[in-house]
C-alpha cells in the first residue's frame, strides 16, 4: 500500500516471546499498538496469553519517522518489501481488531488452500467478508493479513454466514 506521511498500521517484527513487552514499550513512547492474543490451555499449566501473530506487534506510525520504533530493544525490523516498509490494509487490520474484541474462540491458522468466500451476516463480526474453513462440524472464519501471509481463524456459528450473491447462485444457497 502506498502512503504519504499519514500514520498507518505496520507489522513490526520482534523477538518471539517479547510481543506484549515490546507493545507496551512502544505504547510508553506514545504509539498506538495492538498485540492480539488468544488463551492457550495446556494440560497441567495455567492459561497463558499467546500472540495470534507470533513474532509481530502492530503499530500505527508515520513511516518517515520510524527510528524510535526500530531502536526499541527486541524490535527486529518493520515488515515490508526490501528496505521499504509496507503498511497493512485498513480492512484487514479492522477485521483482526474485531475478531480480537469479539471474545470468540480464535487461533492462528495455517491455510493450505483457500476456502469459500462468505460474509458474516450476524453476531459480533457482522459485516466482515472473508473465507470459511471447515473442520468436522465446526466452521471457522479466516482473517488474513496478506502482507504477512498469515491468518487467524475464529469459530463462528453456521447461522451467522451468508454467501456472496454470485457464489450463492453457484452453491444453491448452501454453505458447505
pLDDT in tens, 102-134: 989 899 987 655 667 889 999 999 999 888 888
* 8 Å CB contact between 5 and 64: yes
Q: Where are the domains of the chain?
A: 8-88, 91-171
Q: Which residue has the higher pLDDT, 169 or 66?
A: 66
What pLDDT, on the 0 to 100 scale, is given for residue 167?
Answer: 47
DSSP label of 128? -
Cα(5)–Cα(3) distance, integer angstroms? 6
pLDDT (tens digit per residue) in 39-96:
876 666 666 789 999 999 999 999 988 899 999 999 999 999 988 899 999 999 999 9
146 grid coordinates: 496478506
CATH number of 91-171: 2.30.30
The predicted structure's pLDDT at residue 49: 84
Q: Where are the beta strands (DSSP E) in 17-165?
A: 32-34, 37-40, 48-51, 56-61, 75-78, 80-81, 84-85, 106-109, 116-120, 129-135, 138-145, 150-156, 161-162
What CATH architecture applies to the domain 8-88? 2-Layer Sandwich (3.30)
In sequence order, which ranges of the chain are alpha helices (DSSP H)?
19-28, 67-70, 90-101, 165-171
Amino acid at each position: 500500500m502506498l502512503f504519504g506521511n499519514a500514520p498507518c498500521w505496520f507489522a513490526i517484527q520482534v523477538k518471539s516471546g517479547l510481543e506484549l513487552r515490546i507493545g507496551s514499550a512502544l505504547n510508553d513512547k506514545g504509539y498506538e499498538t495492538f498485540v492480539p492474543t488468544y488463551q492457550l490451555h495446556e494440560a497441567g499449566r495455567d492459561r497463558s496469553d499467546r500472540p495470534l501473530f507470533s513474532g509481530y506487534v502492530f503499530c500505527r506510525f508515520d513511516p518517515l519517522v520510524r527510528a524510535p520504533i526500530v531502536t526499541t530493544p527486541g524490535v527486529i525490523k518493520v515488515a515490508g518489501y526490501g528496505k521499504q516498509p509496507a503498511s497493512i490494509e485498513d480492512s484487514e487490520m479492522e477485521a483482526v481488531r474485531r475478531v480480537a474484541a469479539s471474545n470468540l474462540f480464535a487461533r492462528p491458522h495455517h491455510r493450505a488452500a483457500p476456502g469459500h468466500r462468505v460474509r458474516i451476516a450476524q453476531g459480533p463480526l457482522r459485516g466482515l467478508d472473508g473465507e470459511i474453513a471447515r473442520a468436522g462440524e465446526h466452521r471457522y472464519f479466516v482473517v488474513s493479513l496478506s502482507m504477512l501471509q498469515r491468518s487467524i481463524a475464529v469459530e463462528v456459528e453456521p447461522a451467522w454466514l451468508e454467501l456472496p450473491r454470485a457464489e450463492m447462485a453457484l452453491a444453491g444457497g448452501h454453505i458447505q
